[in-house]
């Protein structure tokens, strides 16, 4: 018997008109490995905002109950040509209770259980998810489990990546985010050196209070000296950056090169041979990534995405990572939210203008049923 509920869709037209609206949807009965989840909580992550608002002019958008219509800048719209005319769901992850299941053993075993899931349409009252991608939450609440996938698995993925590349220290450019706090705890547990960059003194205190050793404030005059000292102490020539635009990656490379040059026994016009690597895993700043000729030629800049990493890591590694998340959901992998909103409230001007700024530590949680 089909189930009806409300779900958010986002559509970008060829003329740059972006429409995000709440609609009534009928969900078919699950089959095979599928489960039907009554959604109870879903976070708004930076990765969700690209499809929800992108670079649209949200200040001058038209807001009506359960809907907004905005205009996308011409350059952004041109780069999004592949999605023109497509009505897309939104919401990478969330948590809820399985109310129906396909006939596979894995799906049937989840009936009645609260699970964390990654359906891709989590901003909905119901969703169809694959049983293999569901994490049973046991006694944990939906709020505790809503962010049990993207940030925890990303933070663990950074550490797995570093270990696979023979690294024992990491640089992270947005240390006070929910993900950054998780990474701080993981690195402490695993004996991995970590240098965190933050923008405020209170963020320094936040990370110090959960055990961080090297936290540097980019707003301070001595930022570069402190960043260099942190890299010197840890050997963090390997880092991750969600900002993307601007000079933050460049700054990291310059600080790494400073330390590398200190260790050189003789001068080279080509800079040090120390391999320096940064991964960009987000676009909090959609401007150009600025690199300067300041750190020789021994550097690599790559992109990093969670799902390609998990595919390459394999089922055994992914299973081990997921079990660690479940075992430490309210400690190492705890998430914190600034505000709870309903599906309707999520589309109001007040909410959109606030959550689209993506301020560190100010994540929203969507409650589909109010």
pLDDT tens digits for range 48-64? 998 999 899 999 999 99
Helix axes 150-164, 315-327, angle to 10 degrees: 130
In this prediction, residue 31 carries a pLDDT of 97
Which residues have a Cβ under 8 Å from the Cβ of 187 and sit 6 or more positions away?
A: 159, 170, 193, 194
Cα distance between residue 284 and residue 224, in whole Å: 22
Q: What is the pLDDT, as a whole number, of residue 167? A: 98
123 and 205, same structural domain?
A: no
Number of domains in the chain: 2
Residues 160 and 302 in one domain: yes
At residue 362, does pLDDT exceed 90?
no
Average pLDDT over all residues of the chain: 96
Q: Are residues 190 and 229 in the same domain?
A: yes
Whichever domain contains 226, its CATH number is 3.40.50.720
Report CA torsion sign: 299, 301, 304, 310: negative
- Could you tell me if residue 191 is inside a domain? yes
Q: What is the pTM of this model?
A: 0.92
- Residue 57 φ then ψ, to 5°: -80, 90
Q: Are residues 208 and 268 in the same domain?
A: yes
pLDDT of residue 342: 98
Residues 302-316, mean pLDDT to the nearest whole number: 95
Query: Are 48 and 72 members of one domain?
Result: yes
202 and 59 assigned to the same domain:
no
With the CA atoms of 328, 330, 331 and 333 taken in that order, what torsion angle do they form, in degrees rounded to the nearest 10? 70
**318, part of any domain:** no
What six digits make up the tokens of 206?
Answer: 């936040």
325 within a domain of the structure (yes/no) = no
Res. 129: pLDDT tops 80: yes
Give the single-character DSSP code of 29: P
Q: Does residue 319 belong to any structural domain of this protein?
A: no
Using alpha carbons, select from 42, 59, 50, 61 the residue that is nearest to residue 83: 50
321 within a domain of the structure (yes/no): no
CA Rg value for the chain: 22
Least confident of 2-6, 195-199, 240-244, 356-360: 356-360
pLDDT at residue 162 greater than cutoff 80: yes
Give the structural domain span for 262: 151-308
Whether 322 is covered by a domain: the verdict is: no
Q: Is the pLDDT of residue 99 over 80?
A: yes
pLDDT value at residue 357? 87
For residue 32, what is the domain's CATH number?
3.90.180.10
Q: State the pLDDT at residue 359.
A: 81
């Amino acid at each position: 018997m089909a189930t009806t509920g409300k779900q958010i869709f986002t559509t970008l037209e060829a003329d740059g008109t972006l429409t995000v609206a709440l609609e009534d949807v009928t969900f078919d009965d699950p089959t095979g490995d599928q489960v039907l989840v009554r959604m109870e909580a879903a976070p708004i992550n930076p990765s969700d905002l690209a499809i929800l608002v992108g670079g649209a002019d949200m200040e001058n958008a038209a807001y009506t109950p359960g809907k907004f219509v905005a205009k996308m800048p011409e350059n952004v719209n041109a780069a999004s040509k592949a999605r023109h005319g497509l009505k897309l769901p939104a919401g990478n992850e969330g948590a809820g209770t399985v109310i129906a299941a396909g006939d596979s053993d894995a799906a049937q075993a989840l009936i009645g259980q609260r699970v964390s899931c990654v359906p891709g349409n989590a901003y909905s009252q119901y969703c169809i998810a694959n049983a293999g991608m569901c994490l049973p939450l046991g006694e944990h609440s939906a709020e505790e489990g809503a962010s049990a996938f993207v940030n925890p698995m990303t933070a663990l993925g950074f550490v797995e990546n570093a270990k696979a590349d023979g690294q024992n220290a990491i640089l992270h450019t947005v240390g006070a985010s929910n993900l950054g706090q998780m990474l701080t705890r993981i690195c402490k547990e695993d004996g991995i050196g970590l240098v965190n960059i933050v923008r405020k003194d209170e963020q320094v205190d936040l990370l110090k209070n959960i055990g961080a050793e090297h936290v540097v404030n980019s707003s301070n005059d001595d930022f570069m000296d402190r960043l260099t000292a942190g890299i010197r102490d840890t050997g963090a020539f390997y880092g991750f950056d969600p900002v993307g635009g601007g000079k933050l990656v460049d700054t990291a490379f310059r600080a790494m090169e400073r330390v590398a040059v200190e260790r050189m026994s003789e001068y080279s016009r080509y800079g040090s041979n120390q391999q320096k690597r940064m991964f960009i895993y987000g676009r909090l700043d959609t401007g150009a990534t600025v690199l300067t000729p300041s750190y020789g030629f021994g550097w690599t800049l790559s992109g990093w995405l969670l799902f390609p990493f998990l595919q390459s890591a394999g089922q055994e590694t992914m299973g081990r990572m997921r079990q660690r998340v479940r075992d430490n959901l309210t400690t190492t992998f705890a998430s914190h939210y600034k505000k709870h909103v309903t599906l309707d409230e999520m589309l109001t001007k007040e909410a959109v203008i606030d959550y689209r700024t993506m301020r560190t530590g100010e994540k929203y949680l969507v409650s589909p049923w109010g």
